[in-house]
Amino acid sequence: MTDRSGYRFETRQIHAGYEPDAEGAVVPPIYNSVTYAYESPSEGISEHRYTRLSNPTRTALDRRIADLAGGQYGRTFASGMAAINTVFTACLSSGDHVVAGENLYAESHTLLTRVFSSFGVEVTFVDATDLTAIGDAIRPETALVYLETPSNPLLTITDISGVVDRCAAAESDPVVAVDNTFASPYLQRPLELGADIVVESLTKYVAGHSDVMAGALVTDDQDIAEKVDVIAYNQGATLSPYDCFLVFRGAKTLAGRMQTHCENAMAIAEFLADHAAVSQVYYPGLADHPNHDVATAQMHDFGGMVSLELDASLEETSQIVTNTELFELAESLGAVESLIEQPAPMTHRTLSAEELEAAGIPTSLVRLSVGIEHHDDLIADLDQAIERVLG
């Protein structure tokens, strides 16, 4: 395999991890075979023997995702949650403690509080923008510090290097894992900032077209990678060859798409910041965002996600998100089309009222996944939807 490490991201997203096979195929073939022939009971014809364990199409994707994330060991899964579950399973045992950001994807929050808690794992949620709070929350039994940055849905930014330093200074020296979904490897590479594991929903920006569900984790730690391989093979949540093909295809255009996502999101954030019906805009690219300086230091750009609070009731907010014409009212994010959603009754509906309040998610919060349409059309769509309800 040719070493592509000297090339820039835009080149590596197209060439890393794969070379034309024996047939000369420029695009990795979809190897749908479940099983692979042996020369003898002790020797296979190739490195593969059963697709749940490994598959040529998935191996090519694993290599590319690892390269783009700046890591050595990449592993792909049937969903982002399958990857996150694998991180927790690889890092945690009964009696362990987790420090997690108080702003988390709802299912990550639920997995920690309602699944792993039943196995004797305890969780402390903290303001992940406060390094002192993170350091103070680490105990001798803390095995994992788990973060999202930018976070879902309030787009808080955590100083990854600062967290790594706090963990290294702690007696327990916990693993640092970062969910990088909102940034993508084009905008941010947590491993290069000292994190032990980066996890992403490839469903979102990397695949980029709302037509495949996938997840990945990347690490430079061989021990973690070996644990992950055992878990993935035995739990069976590995990615199918066809889905690998779709993610591989989407990843080739990641840089160009992300540049347009970021340009559009900034234009929309600036528009919303001046709108009379909007009480607050959450976008790290705005100079008044409380974590703007950290985002500037560790991100290539500020991303395609924008959240806002309206001066509106739950019902009025629901009407506004229903009245958009270009922004589709739907969950998920990171694809070429723009999406709008109301977190409290939609993506975060599994959280109790108390959990929503603790996470700082009001009923008037709206989350935008800004696509690659023309930003003037998107701005006009938001403006008309707000005007129809609030006047």
Residues annotated catalytic, as ranges: 52, 105, 179, 204
- Close Cβ partners of 98 (under 8 Å, ≥ 6 residues apart): 88, 92, 112, 116, 121, 122, 123, 124, 142, 143, 144, 145, 146
Extract the tokens encoding 312: 């509106």
Where are the alpha helices (H) located in the chain, listed in sequence order? 9-15, 56-69, 80-91, 106-110, 131-137, 160-169, 184-187, 222-235, 241-251, 254-273, 292-298, 314-322, 353-359, 375-390
Q: For the chain, how many residues are written?
A: 391
Whether omega for the bond prior to residue 153 falls within 30 degrees of 0, making it cis, is yes
The DSSP letter of residue 214 is -
What would the DSSP string read from start to end of 330-370? Answer: -S---SSS-EEE-TTTTTTTTS-HHHHHHHT--TTEEEEE-
* Closest alpha carbon to 184 in 296, 69, 339, 333: 69
Nearest Cα residue to 109 out of 286, 351, 339: 351
Tell me how far apart the alpha carbons of residues 189 and 114 are, in angstroms, rounded to a whole number. 30
Terminal Cα-to-Cα distance of the chain (whole angstroms): 61
CA nearest neighbour of 145 among 95, 191, 98, 85:
98
Do 72 and 81 form a contact (C-beta atoms < 8 A)? no
